Structure 1
């Protein structure tokens, strides 16, 4: 089963996603973002809080190759989150100032992930941020990020068996909602 959990920042989506994976069995917790350098204490505290609430039998995998992780896993996979994944893809490509290159890089990775999800032999839970509901970003890089993450979210949602929107700590099940063609 493929489950996408989306919502705003600090809405409870990660905690909800974690509740969908059995705590008593091994699982792969995939952290696809980069760990910031330079002593970002606030980010380090966020990462520590996530680690502390995960069961000890879950393995942490730090990788941006989500398709490979999904294809090679023999236990459930929890990916948290697609927003940090898109950020890492664009960072690794050095493409923040080149929206065409960024779109190509994210597009290739998105296609690979969707293909892997369609062929997955294990349950996969993916967490993502829902962006673009507010102010249009001032900078082209922010607009590009919003657009690319929106495309990733839509494509993953289209192949997901379940989709949940977490808003203000409440879960709305979107699984039976129509998919935009």
Structure 2
């Protein structure tokens, strides 16, 4: 089964995704996010806490090429999260200031590859941030990110069997 887990920041979505796979034998944890300059102690602390609660036998792959990691993974796949992946795609390709059409085209190619990879896996859990429920971004980059992640979430949800919405640690299956 392929499950998309969505929710707000600090809603409990990563913990829920990990709990879904608690009994899985082989799990490849795909971590596409990173601190922008590699020197963020809060980010490092968050990563350490995530690693500490995962089973020791889970393999971790850190990459922004999520489609390849999903295709090549051994066992069940857990991707956490699409928001940090989208940030990496925009950063790595210098797309923040290139216009929304160019950014959308680049992201579309990547999300198509990701969806193809996910469709080929019998078991996967993908975590993402839900967008559009909060403050309207005041900066162009925030609007770009919100719009693109909303599209990414819709595309990935189409190849998943279930979507779980996590709010305040509670889970709704949509």
Match of 1:25 in 2: 25
Q: 1:9 to 1:24 in 2, by over 3 A?
A: same
Whether 2:148 is the aligned partner of 1:148: answer yes
2:163 is paired with a residue whose SS is strand
Residues 20-70 of structure 1 show CA distances to partners (whole Å, capped at 9, x for unaligned) of 113562211110112343521111110110010010000110111121122
**Residue equivalent to 1:105:** 106
Residue 41 (structure 1) aligns with: 41
Matched, 1:117 2:127: no
Q: How many residues align?
A: 173
Shift of 1:74: 2.8
SS in 2 for 1:61: strand
Match of 1:137 in 2: 137
Structure 2 match to 1:178: none
The residue matched to 2:155 in structure 1 has which SS? helix
- Does the C-alpha gap of structure 1 residues 160 and 40 become closer, same or farther in structure 2, counting only changes over 3 Å? same
Residue of structure 2 in register with 1:12 after alignment:
12
Q: What do you get for the CA RMSD once the two structures are aligned?
A: 1.3
Question: Secondary structure of 1:85's partner?
Answer: helix
Show structure 1 runs of 4+ deviating over 3 A. none
> Unmatched 5+ residue regions in structure 1?
175-181
User: Deviation at 1:101?
Assistant: 2.4
Q: Secondary structure at the match of 2:56?
A: coil
Q: Deviations over 1:111-144 (max 9, x none)?
A: 1111111122x41100000012122111111101
Q: Can you give the 5+ residue segments of structure 2 that lack an aligned partner in the other structure?
A: none
CA 1:139 to 1:71, structure 2 compared with 1: closer, same or farther past 3 Å?
same
Take 2:127 and 2:36, find their aligned partners in 1: how far apart are those partners? 20
How much does 1:173 deviate? 0.5
2:52 alignment partner in structure 1: 52
State the TM-score, normalizing by the size of structure 1: 0.91
| Superposition deviation, residue 100 in structure 1 | 2.5
Displacement after TM superposition at 1:170 (Å): 0.5
SS of alignment partner, residue 10 of structure 1: coil
